[in-house]
Amino acid sequence: MVRKVKKKKSGMRIFVALLFMAVIAAFVYKIAPDPTVSISLNKLNSPNAILIRLKDHTILLEKNSEAKIYPASLTKIMTAIVAIENLPDIMGEIKLSNSTFRGLYEAGASMAGFQPGERVRAIDLLYGVILPSGAECCIGLANKIAGAEQNFVKIMNQKAADLGMGNTHFENVTGLQNENHYTTVEDLSVLLCYALKNDTFREIFTSSRHCTPPTNKHTEGITFNSTMFEKLTNKNIIGGEILGGKTGYTSAAGLCLASLSKVDNQEYVLVTAGAKGDSHSEQFNITDAIAVYSSIGK
């Protein structure tokens, strides 16, 4: 009987040891670069990058992912998801006041094309935020939901805290340059992975174009085109396709891109920032996305 007990205890120790080793191995696997991503980091134009497998949030590639960056219009991912989660009626109408546009043209902000006094559905403003990167859409949604942009920014920062985005702080809803408006590509990947769980956000994020119904200022409506898909001549990549994305650019932020792809029936999120160039140069943020996604499994 004594021998049996000893054997049972010995077997239990072995089981516990094996279980501990399995847990450690699983943890290491989750954070280690996947060897099936064949691209070399020094070949990327972007100084900051992170690639995530969406189903389990496994990090497959990272390059200075925790370094401070300016997000430019990638900010609007947070603006959109916070608006979606706080709108009382996504199909409700919002009037864009004169104050909505104050300072935007002077700051060189991207605009969707709406006009002061225009009455627009909230859903159309959301498309305007993501596809043409419309600053007036961001302000219009913020004013409707929180009464003022800075009140809405407080909600954005609280959402960032809730998501564990510890290296992020927002100062505005548009991504206009501000020294105290910063994040990391790692934090942005957390945000995008979260936002893509929302069906409305995913539908907008993966759309290449959107046509609004007629309004009091545009009798034939407005057609929006995605700033990413406009510059992506072929969304097909080796083994899959790029499903959606949001571009960003300021002179301080460089060329940025947060995108979603499907490769060999798996979805991936890639966030890059800081690539050299501008809206008139080669789009190195998109070039990097094509190169990274095409290297998966190769």
User: Which residues are tagged catalytic?
Assistant: 73, 76, 133
What residues have CB less than 8 Å from 238, skipping those under 6 apart?
A: 263, 293, 294, 298
Which of 159, 160, 156 lies closest to 142, judged by CA?
A: 156
Q: Which residues contact 143 (CB under 8 A, 6 or more apart)?
A: 97, 99, 100, 149, 152
What residues are designated binding site for substrate?
Answer: 246
Q: Are 44 and 16 in contact (CB under 8 A)?
A: no
In whole angstroms, give the CA distance from residue 232 to residue 229.
5
Q: What is the DSSP letter of 281?
A: S
* Amino acid type, 15: F
Binding-site entries: 246
Q: How far apart are CA 55 and CA 268, in angstroms?
A: 8
Tell me if 134 sits within 8 A of 115, measured CB to CB: no
19 token code pair: 């279980």
Residue of 74, 156, 138 lying closest to 100 (CA atoms): 138
